[in-house]
Chains A and B, each alone.
Chain A
């Protein structure tokens, strides 16, 4: 686990981003200290806020794992967003279609639907990469947009369309057996929405770790990530591993979509995702593609997401400040050489792309 050995770069990235963000807040005539205080209070101020931060972090953990497992194999999965949406649609469809089934039957079905749909969608990019050498960055960007429009159709005038109380196009409500229960009793934290999806996320983190560091497949995947040519010399077929890893990446993201439907919305709303799949890129990079690092980064970004909303309503500063900070984090990480310089750990001759992989 790399992160445990070298958290300096990620921590410096976040600090630099926060400082730049503060300069920006001050430049636009607001008080940065007040802004960050409101942000922190919003994220952690009450037990309820802490649970909401966790609720926001859950999908980020899973999409972070999705991006990270691909990075570990030397691939860039920009498609976590699309894979998440496909997983959500599949889970929503199955959860509503078999709504009468009892929970012990329905829940595994819904989980499987989300995972398989995401895996299948991720596999498209993987197979095209393996069979035709198509850059997965291009395909996953395109696949993200394709599912958005398919989703518009399904939920606005297609077979999944149901009347929605909130006026947003949505699918029918999923059955009670497909709903992930709230795990904190109301007496402990009133109104808490913290659901059992957090357990699924924890399980996924363990699976990620076990797969990559305790199985021969994981060893091969990492070998391909460190150098496809060398891996091929060692008898590993990089193309097949790449196809497979994109399916695995899609499975993690698909599970994230399923969890949002089953744990938060109980149906699929058109445009329900606030870009978890895109934030995931920053989560994976900030977490250095390691299990604990991803959890830490997802918690940070979850805190940004929930805290930002509270900051806007309480301090009158646009919640988009957190997007700016997140973008800066990502940008600073991309310019890793500079951060390394600040950290005094400059390693010469290593290209950023290889460092990511």
Chain B
């Protein structure tokens, strides 16, 4: 094992590359949960984004349309979750699980239908890069201060947080709880869809069944580990991305005679998140009305 394997430039570059999709999902999660809706369908939004992004880019030969289509697809899936969670007051976890399974089923089915067993075509247009990183990496980083400013520096952000903390009080002062929650959930789907576009159009240049491989859930972990704040989510995403980068760079490395168990690095996000929610690494508390359906008085 060498120092380069741990903090070399390629590891740090990989950290950014791997953190970006986690960060996008996490920012979505922060917005949605701050408004009081748990959206575990971020994984599904990401997956449909990844698929639709590739198909649209390939059909139109336009990367812009590809990315836009991915965002729309992620938003649509989140829209279904919003209707279920907000309008029908379904159990948010069950609805989210159902949509994740649906996203996996739909994309795999359509992938088979469209491309059979040969896989997606290789001639999809590429996303531009800036300083050797996909432009979407920089977009995701730029979204951190923007989300922070929105949540903590604008009236809309204040309203959104009020809805997540105390919807009844928010309603009393004239905030449309449902409308705010719809907007928040849709935004979370858009961000996750963008994360999916990044994965398929920028990293893999193709779509494979289930390719998001739990990144939406790592994003969820980053939301919790980052204490429901955009900056916390960034720190968490970078940390998780770094762990991910290490598990690649340390492949085959040894300390003394023992091989480094790189696979175990994969447990890092989840272990840290459990420790965080259990209060062993600072206390991580969700918004008060997170996951609680809202009913109007006298309904």
- Does chain A have a CB within 8 A of B120? no
Docked Cα-Cα span, A157 to B109, in Å, equals: 34
Of the candidates A143, A150, A351, A352, the one having the most CB atoms from chain B within 10 angstroms of its own CB is A352
Q: Find chain A residues with CB under 8 A from B274 CB.
A: 128, 134, 138-139, 142-143
B263, A334: Cβ atoms under 8 Å?
Answer: no
Docked Cα-Cα span, A238 to B224, in Å, equals: 25
B261, A334: Cβ atoms under 8 Å?
Answer: no
Docked Cα-Cα span, A271 to B102, in Å, equals: 21
Interface size on A, residues (CB 8 A): 49
Chain B residue nearest to A25 (CB atoms) is: B109
- Report if A333-B94 is in contact (Cβ < 8 Å); known contacts: A145-B217, A318-B112, A323-B108: yes
A327, B99: Cβ atoms under 8 Å?
Answer: yes
Of the candidates A134, A142, A153, the one having the most CB atoms from chain B within 10 angstroms of its own CB is A142
- Does chain B have a CB within 8 A of A347? no
A138, B93: Cβ atoms under 8 Å?
Answer: no
Interface size on B, residues (CB 8 A): 48
- Does chain B have a CB within 8 A of A213? no
A331, B99: Cβ atoms under 8 Å?
Answer: yes
Chain B residue nearest to A76 (CB atoms) is: B93
Chain A residue nearest to B277 (CB atoms) is: A134
| Stretch in A54-62, A95-103, A258-266, A335-343 touching the partner | A335-343
- Does chain B have a CB within 8 A of A158? yes
Of the candidates B89, B93, B105, the one having the most CB atoms from chain A within 10 angstroms of its own CB is B105
Partner of A281, one of B94, B209, B264: B94
A323, B84: Cβ atoms under 8 Å?
Answer: no
- The contact sample of 30 A-B pairs, CB cut-off 8 A, is A76-B93, A128-B277, A138-B274, A142-B273, A145-B214, A145-B270, A146-B271, A149-B264, A149-B267, A157-B263, A281-B97, A318-B109, A320-B106, A322-B105, A323-B102, A324-B105, A324-B109, A326-B101, A327-B102, A327-B105, A328-B98, A330-B94, A331-B98, A334-B91, A336-B90, A337-B90, A351-B89, A352-B90, A353-B91, A353-B293
Using a CB–CB cutoff of 8 Å, the interface residues on chain A facing chain B are 28-29, 76, 78, 128, 132, 134-135, 137-139, 141-143, 145-146, 148-150, 152-153, 156-158, 278, 281-282, 285, 318, 320-324, 326-328, 330-331, 333-338, 351-353, 356
- Given A138-B224, A157-B259, A334-B98, 19 other A-B residues pairs in contact with their CB atoms under 8 A: A128-B277, A128-B278, A138-B273, A138-B274, A141-B217, A142-B221, A142-B271, A145-B266, A148-B266, A149-B267, A282-B98, A320-B106, A320-B108, A321-B109, A327-B101, A334-B84, A335-B84, A353-B293, A356-B91
